[in-house]
């Protein structure tokens, strides 16, 4: 589990083909790798991946073709990515509970400066729209955010300068694709509301 509070922006230093998937090496400056062991989970752009090799401030993960087919931002050497280590039971939960399992890919509709913050509008896949609620939580490229407005499949969040400074969201442009994870609680509420479970 993660919180959606980004600890560092890393760089994909290698992206090697591996049986249709990719083996990625990711360099980090401030993620604090001293307590990371082989097999630990690290969220990379909101995708929960397993560390299979650690070399100083660089860690390596394997990404399956299935994961690449349903996410964005993991394919290219040189790409900057949001990083977060898995939560410990003693950690503060500054964002919201995030599983690192991307539910779908959204598209940036608008991204503009409104003075004290930036307004980001994203079009979610139609099947996810019902899970997105005003004042609810959403994860965009691994970043925990609060939904301010919803119209159909489009939703709006505000990004404060600090968030833009410490994540890759400042690189977004209209038309960009982003990883989305809906609020974990919304999944269970929807399941419980089904009339019959087979």
Q: What are the residue boundaries of the structural domains of the chain, listed by start?
A: 8-85, 104-193
pLDDT-derived band at 198 (thresholds 50, 70, 90) equals: low
Lowest mean pLDDT: which of 20-24, 124-128, 165-169, 188-192? Answer: 188-192
Burial bucket for residue 158 (CB in 10 Å: 0-12, 13-18, 19+): middle
Cα gap 63→81, rounded to integer Å: 14
**Would the pLDDT of 196 be above 70?**
no
| pLDDT tens digits, one per residue of 121-166 | 999 999 999 999 999 999 999 999 999 999 999 999 999 999 999 9
Is residue 156 within 8 Å of 162, Cβ to Cβ?
Answer: no
Model confidence pLDDT, tens digit, residues 68-123 = 999 999 999 999 999 999 998 778 878 888 999 999 999 999 999 999 999 999 99
Q: Selecting from 2.40.360.20, 3.40.50.1980, 2.40.30.20, 2.60.120.560, what CATH number does the domain 104-193 have?
A: 2.40.30.20
CATH dotted code for 8-85: 2.40.30.20
| pTM of the predicted structure, to 2 decimals | 0.94
Strands 8-18 and 41-44: unpaired
> Do 104-193 and 8-85 fall under one CATH topology?
yes
Decide if 29 contacts 110 (C-beta within 8 A): no
Backbone angle region of 19, left / alpha / beta, with phi > 0 → left and psi within -120 to 50 → alpha: left
């Amino acid at each position: 589990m993660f919180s959606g509070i980004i600890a560092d922006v890393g760089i994909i230093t290698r992206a090697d083909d591996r049986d249709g998937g990719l083996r990625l090496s990711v360099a980090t400056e401030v993620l604090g790798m001293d307590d990371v062991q082989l097999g630990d989970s690290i969220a990379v752009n909101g995708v929960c991946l397993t560390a299979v090799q650690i070399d100083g401030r660089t860690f390596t993960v394997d990404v399956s073709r299935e994961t690449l087919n349903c996410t964005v931002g993991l394919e290219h050497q040189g790409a900057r990515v949001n990083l977060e280590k898995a939560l410990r039971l003693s950690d503060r939960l500054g964002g919201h509970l995030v599983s690192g399992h991307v539910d779908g890919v959204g598209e940036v509709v608008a991204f503009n400066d409104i003075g004290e913050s930036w307004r980001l509008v994203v079009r979610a896949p139609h099947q996810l729209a019902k899970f997105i609620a005003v004042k609810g939580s959403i994860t965009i490229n691994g970043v925990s955010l609060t939904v301010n407005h919803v119209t159909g499949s489009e939703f709006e969040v505000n990004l404060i300068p600090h968030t833009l400074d410490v994540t890759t969201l400042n690189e977004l442009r209209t038309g960009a694709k982003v990883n989305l994870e809906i609020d974990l609680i919304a999944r269970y509420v929807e399941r419980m509301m089904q009339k019959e479970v087979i």
